[in-house]
Amino acid sequence: MPREWTKSSLAKTIDHTVFKAVATEQQIRELCAEARANGFAAVCVNPFWVPLCARELSSTRITVCAVVGYPLGANATSVKAEEARLAVKQGAGELDMVINLGAAKSGDWKTVEEDIRAVVKAAGTAPVKAILETCYLTDAEKVRACEAAIKAGAVYVKTSTGFGTGGASAEDVRLIRKTVGDRIRIKASGGLRSYHDAIKMLDAGADRLGSSSGVTIVSELPE
């Protein structure tokens, strides 16, 4: 049976995001203010903005989430690990990392797993979400990527960066949920702009949502 959502409970599933290359300090401050006003789970930002967000949200329970190896996933593993380590040191409480997509498409799942594991180790106690970028993967590859993420110690698998050729789909969320069961959580992101989009993903099995339209999503919730 579909869950009954309130504005508060729905907001707690949302990572409120700004990833634009030209995002300004004022826009990041506004992102944090919107997160405080709505009670979002986290703000998710490029690593440069982590210290500012940590200061802005220091008196709240809202998590600062930093992206790692974003948006292509093609950085050297050692670079991803150092990026993760620095982000946590500067105040990130969660990390969203892009898996090595080239290795995945090459069938080199050992490298995919080791890449994720290095970031998980560098992150310490901060949960890591492994971004699969599902638009580039076959269903069989999505399954293998999920298994690699679980073996490597990620806490979530995430569908998309929002920079690929497609974003989250209910079909992918259902496939991931069928694959992982309750072994790992799921974050749906990419193209979620409305309450309808959000509920579709949650009903399909997502635990967390990533969107730059978090305010719109919760404001559309029927009273």
CB count in 10 Å sphere of residue 82: 16
Domain 7-219 has CATH 3.30.390.30: no
Residue 154 tokens, joined: 């990620």
Rounded Cα distance between 111 and 2, Å, is 38
Question: Could you give the residue numbers annotated as active site?
Answer: 96, 158, 187
pLDDT of res. 2: 63
Each domain of the chain, given as residue ranges in start order, spans 7-219
Question: Tens digits of per-residue pLDDT, 47-62?
Answer: 999 999 999 999 999 9
Question: Tens digits of per-residue pLDDT, 129-172?
Answer: 999 999 999 999 999 999 999 999 999 999 999 999 999 999 99
Show the low-confidence residues of the chain (pLDDT under 50). none
Whole-prediction pTM = 0.96
pLDDT of res. 222: 72
